[in-house]
Structure formats: structure tokens, C-alpha cells
Structure 1
Amino acid sequence: MPKIVITGGAGFIGSHIAYHVRNQFPAHQLVIFDKMTYAADVRNIQDLTAAGDAELVIGDVCDFDLACNVVAGADYVVHAAAESHVDNSFGNSLLFTRTNVYGTHTILEACRRMGVKRIVHVSTDEVYGEVRTGAADETTFLNPTNPYSASKAGAEMVISGYLHSYRMPIVTARGNNIYGIRQYPEKIIPRFAMLLDCGKKLTVYGSGKNRRHYLAAEDFAAAIVLLMRRGEIGGIYNIGSEDEFENIEIAGMIADIFGHALEDVIDFVPDRPFNDWRYAIDSSRIRALGWAPQHRLVDDLAGVVQWYRDNRARFQRLVCDIAGQATDIGTGLQTGTQTP
């Protein structure tokens, strides 16, 4: 039976990829390889595992022998495992280098040894650094500005070495900010939804004027599957939307869903050590393959917020029982595995 491995598949983005892959490749064996750190949750994939549609292998992508065993016989490996929260990277940067650079190197070498036919690497638009005007295309010089984006850029340098030295069948995806259900409440949308649901105020960095583009997890997962099938070997693809908002606008939209005036529920807090003003990418290359976003944040946001309200018990200890400051969620909740 043909086989697909998704690293980090029990996390937010990885679980959305897993469900989409299961739907698009019903005849393939699906293996989810995840360390089950704080941002992973078995409930994210329980419909797959309970039905026997996926196997969960718990382990570290930095474990070479285990990685070789997991990817052996795989036709595809989607490498989505990563430490991804920028705030955490300021306080624990070595972990980011270990997981995102060494972990990627380990997976690539395991795939090389085991003869994997195609690897899709999940990167980020943050490797470009600030894009004050216009949009970065895939040829734009990498200019990471924080330990997280630096580690993701480092992973891409390892990929470049494997492409040139071994002609490895690797495709890289650089995506916008991803939103959707099941996201750990350290990122802006789930954090704000949970804070208001717990009766706390929204903690906004600096002036709140930093800008981000937002892409639905379902649209990102569809792009990954397209790259599995049709991405050019060695190719890099930006995956982005036109949905661009200031952080303060996101706060206002969520406050409105709860029926609050923004000025009544907002607290401005000191900015993090460095906070890119804006990210923006040109995704015309993948659009030429036929992909385009099917979702818009303004249409989806109320439903996403409602999911967090309906699943408050899952995250209550993380948000409702603490002071609710941005740093509490950003750096104080890095340990422990979420399980039912």
C-alpha cells in the first residue's frame, strides 16, 4: 500500500493537512509522526485515528533511527513539524534551532536514506522578514528578523544543500498567517477569542498597527496537496491571500462578535523585542497551477470564534485561570502534552 507521512500532524496546521490528505489520497496509508508537545493534541486527529484512517507515531523528528523507520516506504512526506510561536522563540531560541533546523535535517537525511519519492516542506512567509510595501516573491532575498524565522530560513538552507548535492525531490511552501479551528491559543485569533470568552481584556502589542495576511487552514492544506501532486521539484511556492488586517482590526472584529466596544476590552502592552511591521507575499506561482483561496477571514471568523467558545474546556486552564497577559500565553505555557 502506498504511504504518506505527515510530521507534526497532530498540531494545528498538520491536522488540517492530515484531513485533506486523507480525503484526497484514500488508497494511501497515512502515518502521523508527532512529538506531542504542548501545541499538539490527540483530539485534533481523533476522527482519523479512531476510524483507523491514520496511524499516530509519537516521537521526535530529531530521532534519526525513528525517523528512518517512520518514513521507510513512504511515497510522500509532508514536513510540517516545527516550533512556530515567535514569542516563545525569544525566550527559548535554542529549542527552535534544534527542532526547526536539526529536525528538518534529520527528516531529510532519513528520506534520502529510505528513498522517499517526494517531500513537501512547510516553511513560512516570515523568512522574508519585513515587507513594508509591495509583496515578496519566491526570488526575494531571505531576511529573517527573529529566532523563529531565522530557524525556518536555516531549515531552507539545509534543503538547498540537499537539492544541489543529492537532487532530492523537495518542494517548499511558504505560507501566510494561518487561521482556523484547533489552533493553540497563543496566536492572535484563538487567544483573543478565549480571553473575551473568559471575561478578560485583549492584550495588544505596541500600537496594534502591525499588519498580517490571513489564510484559512483548509486553503493551505489544499495548496499542500496540490504541491504533492504538481509542485516542481526544487520549487518554492508562496501560499497567500489578499486578506490583510492590522492587529487592532482583528481585535475589533472579535470584540464585535462578542458584542463589545473595542475600547472597553483592550489593553495595550509593551511590544516584543522585535515585531515585524508587515509580511506580504506574491502567490502568483501557485495560482498558476490552479490554486486560489476559497475562504475569507471576514466570512469565517465568527465560526472560528464559536468553535473556541464551544471548546472552552480544552483551553480553560491555559487562558481563563491565568492573568491573561500576552506574555503568559506567549512564553509561560510551553510544557506539557494536551491529552483528553
Structure 2
Amino acid sequence: MYRILVTGGAGFIGSHFVRRLLRRDDVSRVTVLDALTYAGHTENLGKSLLDPRLTFVHGNILDAPLVDELMARHTAVVHFAAESHVDRSLTRAGTFLTTNVLGTQTLAASAGRHGIEKFVHVSTDEVYGSLSEGSASEDDPLRPGVPYAASKAAGDLVALSHFQTYGLPLCVTRSSNNYGPHQFPEKVVPLFITSLLRGEKVTLHGQGQHVRNWLHVEDNCAGVELGLYEGKPGEIYNVGGGTDLTCRNLTAKLLDLCGKDWDSVTYVPDRQANDLRYSMLWDKISALGFRPIRDLDEGLAETVAWYRRNPDRWAPLTRTPYVARTTDATTPAAGEEARAH
């Protein structure tokens, strides 16, 4: 039976993954460690909090004594916790490095001391940097272009060094952009949806031609689950297979679903740090049996419907100073939570 510590488990992707774990018969304990910063909320866990196998711990991955105490009770770790929003990383790079690099070091070192059987470090396609053509494989060099991506790339290397140096049974997953219900409204999909539902305009940088691959959060969680159960220690697995869209094309879909037209869109000059295109090959995770199953149009419709039904969950959040009302498609996948937990 598995006893699994999930960092950042009250964030967007982490909470979906926790619910997935609790549907398994071979999991006897799930502990969520989350700092409950602005993007993490226990409400994301919903009815899972009633499951006697789930324990929630409010704490920080940089708290080494707490991490050690929790690590001793578990057999596996899935590490989502991270600072994740690109725009915020441009002005708070130090915070991103502290959480995403030193936090990962704290967890990996503790996992080694306590003989953890499997450690999954969740990362992002942004570590490969912008690609004008082709797609990145797991063996390609890392060329992060913004502080967020640089901090995740550094965290990946720290994590992998614990396999190489100490034999920690660790693998890394890197996913493309995630979308779905419960996402904090600073990333482009929930930001545009909540803005449009409030009757506000949304903003595109440049001509909206930045290309991202969109993967439903449940599909990403399926990939992370495969990494946990089937992933080979020391390996990296790209979790892709979603749908490539320009930000303009994504905006068109969201306008239609929200019953708005292009009068709700304004354009601003592109910012300097704005990678044009991300793309990954995902043959390795496919060989383990991974197949994304969520259709983009159905997934976006489901996501818009969730935000329509749950204004009490997101309306208060849009009034915080953390939500940038101007954004683009440069949003990470994993982490949300991964997203500052």
C-alpha cells in the first residue's frame, strides 16, 4: 500500500491529482502539504477532505523539520509545489528561485534520508524555451527564457542530481499548459473566462500569435500518475498530446463559450520576455501507456460552465492584488501550485 506526500496539493493541478489518488485501492494515506498562498485553497480539495485517508498540513516545503517529520511517514512523494506565474516572476525572481530550487532541494534531501521509494518532480515544457520549429525531446538542452522557467529548470537539475549522486528513485514530468476547473484566475484561461463573465475586456499581447499546447488537467494528472507507478528512476517524461493553439485562437473559443465578441478584446504591445512557441515530443510517456482523452472544445466548455456555476469560488479572488488583468498565453502547466505552495 502506498503512503503518498503531495506538495502543493491544495492548488489547481495538485488537488485534481489528490482526488485521482483517492480513487485508487492501493493508496492507504495521502498527505497534502500546502502553504495556502494566494493560489492554494482547501476548497479545491472539496469532498476529498472527508476521506479518512487524507490529511492536510498547512506548511512550507522550505521548513526542513516539518518536511522531515512528514517524509518519515510516507513511501512516495509527488512534488507540485512551486511559484508558477510568468508575469510575477519578472518582478519577484528571488522568490521563485527560493521556492522552486531550495524547496526542491529540501524535499529531495529529506526523501533520501528517509528511504522514499519513489519521488516525482513535476515540471513544465517552458524549461526548453521558445522553439521556432520542431519539438523538444527529453534529451534536448534546457533554454529557459524567463525567470519562472529558469527556476523550474534549476529545480529539475537539483532533483535529478539526487538520483545521480545519491540514488534517490526520482523521475521528472514536464507538461504543456493545463486548463480545467478550479484554476486560480491569473492564468490565461481562467482569467479570460472570469473577466468575460464579469463583462470586462481581455487583453492580447502583440497579435496574439504565441503558440501553446493545451492539455486538460486530468490528462496531465494521468501522466503524473504513470510517472509515479511506472516511471523509471532518473528519467524525464514529457506529458503532451494536447492541442496547439495561438492565443488568438484560444481567445476566439473562449469568446464564443462566454457569449462575447471581439469588442471584448483589446491589444497591447508584446512584452520582451514572451516566448513565441513551446512544443514537446511525448513518445516516452506514450510508451508507458499514456493517452490524453479529453477533447479541447468539450474541456473548455466544461471549464466555462464550472466558472459560471461557482462565482463564489472565484469572484473574491479577482479582487486581490495578485491577479494581473493583462495577460497572454505564457502560462505554465505544472505548476501552478506547483502553483506557491
TM tier relative to shorter chain: over 0.9
Using a 3 Å threshold, how does the CA distance of structure 1 residues 115 and 22 change in structure 2: closer, same or farther? same
- Paired residue for 1:280? 279
- Paired residue for 1:309? 308
- Paired residue for 2:87? 87
Aligned pairs for 1:206-245 within 5 A:
206-245=206-245
SS of the aligned residue for 2:90 comes to helix
Q: Is the 8 A contact 2:4 2:27 kept in 1?
A: no
Displacement after TM superposition at 1:302 (Å):
1.0
Q: Is the 8 A contact 1:7 1:80 kept in 2?
A: yes
Displacement after TM superposition at 1:181 (Å):
0.5
Give the percent of matched residue pairs that are identical in Structure 1 and Structure 2. 37
- Paired residue for 1:183? 183
SS of the aligned residue for 2:214 comes to strand
Whether 2:316 is the aligned partner of 1:326: answer no
- Paired residue for 1:202? 202
CA distance in 2, matches of 1:20, 1:232: 21
- Paired residue for 2:31? 31
- Paired residue for 1:15? 15
State the AA in 2 paired with 1:315: W
Aligned pairs for 1:94-113 within 5 A:
94-113=94-113
CA distance in 2, matches of 1:11, 1:285: 27
Using a 3 Å threshold, how does the CA distance of structure 1 residues 142 and 130 change in structure 2: closer, same or farther? same
Q: Is the 8 A contact 1:79 1:120 kept in 2?
A: yes
Displacement after TM superposition at 1:80 (Å):
0.5
Q: Is the 8 A contact 1:87 1:272 kept in 2?
A: no
State the AA in 1 paired with 2:260: H
- Paired residue for 2:334? none
State the AA in 1 paired with 2:220: F
1:285-332 Cα shifts (integer Å, max 9, x gaps): 1101111101121121111011112111222234379997316xx9xx
Q: Is the 8 A contact 2:82 2:99 kept in 1?
A: yes
Q: Is the 8 A contact 1:129 1:145 kept in 2?
A: yes
- Paired residue for 1:289? 288
- Paired residue for 2:55? 55
CA distance in 2, matches of 1:43, 1:324: 22
State the AA in 2 paired with 1:161: S
- Paired residue for 2:137? 137
Q: TM-score, normalised by structure 1?
A: 0.92
CA distance in 1, matches of 2:324, 2:87: 15
1:8-43 Cα shifts (integer Å, max 9, x gaps): 000001011111111124542110011111000110
Displacement after TM superposition at 1:52 (Å):
2.4
Using a 3 Å threshold, how does the CA distance of structure 1 residues 300 and 242 change in structure 2: closer, same or farther? closer
Q: Is the 8 A contact 2:123 2:152 kept in 1?
A: yes
Using a 3 Å threshold, how does the CA distance of structure 1 residues 21 and 186 change in structure 2: closer, same or farther? same
Using a 3 Å threshold, how does the CA distance of structure 1 residues 76 and 25 change in structure 2: closer, same or farther? farther
SS of the aligned residue for 2:119 comes to strand
- Paired residue for 2:268? 269
The number of residues matched between the two structures is 327
State the AA in 1 paired with 2:215: L
Q: CA RMSD in A?
A: 1.7
Q: Which has the higher contact order (CA 8 A, sep 6+)?
A: 2
Q: Is the 8 A contact 2:176 2:214 kept in 1?
A: yes
State the AA in 1 paired with 2:43: R
Q: Structure 1: state its 5+ residue gaps.
A: 331-340
Q: Is the 8 A contact 1:163 1:170 kept in 2?
A: yes
Using a 3 Å threshold, how does the CA distance of structure 1 residues 324 and 68 change in structure 2: closer, same or farther? closer
Displacement after TM superposition at 1:251 (Å):
0.9
CA distance in 2, matches of 1:315, 1:79: 25
SS of the aligned residue for 1:326 comes to coil
Displacement after TM superposition at 1:146 (Å):
0.4
1:166-193 Cα shifts (integer Å, max 9, x gaps): 0110010000001111110111110110
1:175-226 Cα shifts (integer Å, max 9, x gaps): 0001111110111110110001000011112211100001111111111111
Using a 3 Å threshold, how does the CA distance of structure 1 residues 133 and 113 change in structure 2: closer, same or farther? same
- Paired residue for 2:161? 161
- Paired residue for 2:299? 300
CA distance in 2, matches of 1:45, 1:61: 19
- Paired residue for 1:77? 77
185-194 or 20-29, which deviates more: 20-29
Q: Is the 8 A contact 2:205 2:269 kept in 1?
A: yes
Q: Structure 2: state its 5+ residue gaps.
A: 331-341
SS of the aligned residue for 2:107 comes to helix
- Paired residue for 1:338? none
1:226-255 Cα shifts (integer Å, max 9, x gaps): 111110110100000140001011111111
State the AA in 1 paired with 2:17: I
- Paired residue for 2:259? 259
Displacement after TM superposition at 1:256 (Å):
0.7
CA distance in 1, matches of 2:79, 2:65: 17
State the AA in 2 paired with 1:244: D
- Paired residue for 2:114? 114
Using a 3 Å threshold, how does the CA distance of structure 1 residues 266 and 299 change in structure 2: closer, same or farther? same
Using a 3 Å threshold, how does the CA distance of structure 1 residues 295 and 102 change in structure 2: closer, same or farther? same
- Paired residue for 1:335? none
CA distance in 2, matches of 1:272, 1:28: 47
